[in-house]
Every structure is written in C-alpha cells, then in structure tokens.
Amino acid sequence: MRKLGILLSGRGSNFIAIADNIARGALAAEIAIVISNQPDAPGIAVAHERGLQTLVIPSKGRKREEHDRDVVAALQQAGAELIILAGYMRLLSPWFVKQFPQRILNIHPSLLPAFPGLDAQQQAFEYGVRVSGCTVHFVDEHLDHGAIIVQRTVPVLPGDDAHALADRILEQEHQAYSEAIAIALSGRFRVEGRRIIVD
C-alpha cells in the first residue's frame, strides 16, 4: 500500500473521510502518520483513537522553515509518499514543497482560482456567485495555486447562507479528496502547463 502523511490543524473532517474510505476499501492507501501543529487539534485525537501514528509538532513562535524541517523529517521517517493537507492552517515554505515535488495535495472550498485564502465560502456567498464548490490541487510555492486535480461544483441555493453553503461544499470535499488521492497515487497523469491530464 502507498503511504500517506496527513497534516492537520483542526477537526480533520477530510482526514476522517479519507481514513473511512481506506477502511472500507474504497481507496488503496494507508495512513503512515498524522501530524498536527496544534496540540489540541480534535483531528489528532481521532487519529490516536483509530490507532494511527500521531505526532504533534507545535508551530507557535517558530520560524516557518525551522518548523517545516521537523515536519519533513517526521514524514520521511514514516515513509510518507504523498502528503495530504487536511485543514492544515499553515503555509508551507518553498523548501518544504521542494522536498515533495507533485506529492503534496491540498483541498480548498472554492472553485479555484476564484476565492483563494481564508473564508472562501463567505467570499463566494458575498460575491453572489450562483455556483461554488471545491478544488483539490497540487501544492506549489504560492497560496492555493498549484495544478488542479479534481473540482466539484455546488449550486448556491436561494435560501443559503454561508454556513449552509459551506456544509454542502464539505460533503463534496469528502468525496473529491479521495478521488484526487487515487489519481495522484496511480501516476497515470501528466502535467501540461497548469492542466492535469489523466491517462
């Protein structure tokens, strides 16, 4: 089985969805390690309860690359082949990204390149878009920027508020992330400019 390294900072709902898909045989992978930069992250407690290898590497008060070097060392020691950002609320340094070229995935709750950064669902709602969604992409040195692997659309309904929209986007995230992981692990794709072509 190919090994995943999960990075999270909060509740880890995408991590849980990935772990559930692995457990029921819908995703051919194993979780090698779950790392959090927040000691009180609920997701790290869930990982521990499931018997997964967990590690907390606090980031508060540390320089980005110094912290990243500790995280990378732990990922490499665990044999992680694909790095999954599951609500990891910390920008990776360019040095980190270079250690795992086209092997770091992130999910964002909008149809990138629209509404990058924080509070994407609120941004979409306030802008008045009729369709939003989520994007799984490779991570590069820029925020919410790498080549797109999977996108899923979610209509913005007349009675929506930002919270209702976020809940429906999250449902799609839980499916899209495992789909993108399977593509990345298969190796049956090529990158042409910004486009991912699945063979």
Catalytic residues: 108
The 3 state secondary structure assigned to the chain is CCEEEEEECCCCHHHHHHHHHHHCCCCCCEEEEEEECCCCCHHHHHHHHCCCCEEECCCCCCCHHHHHHHHHHHHHHCCCCEEEECCCCCCCCHHHHHHCCCCEEEEECCCCCCCCCCCHHHHHHHHCCCEEEEEEEECCCCCCCCCEEEEEEEECCCCCCHHHHHHHHHHHHHHHHHHHHHHHHHCCEEEECCEEEEC
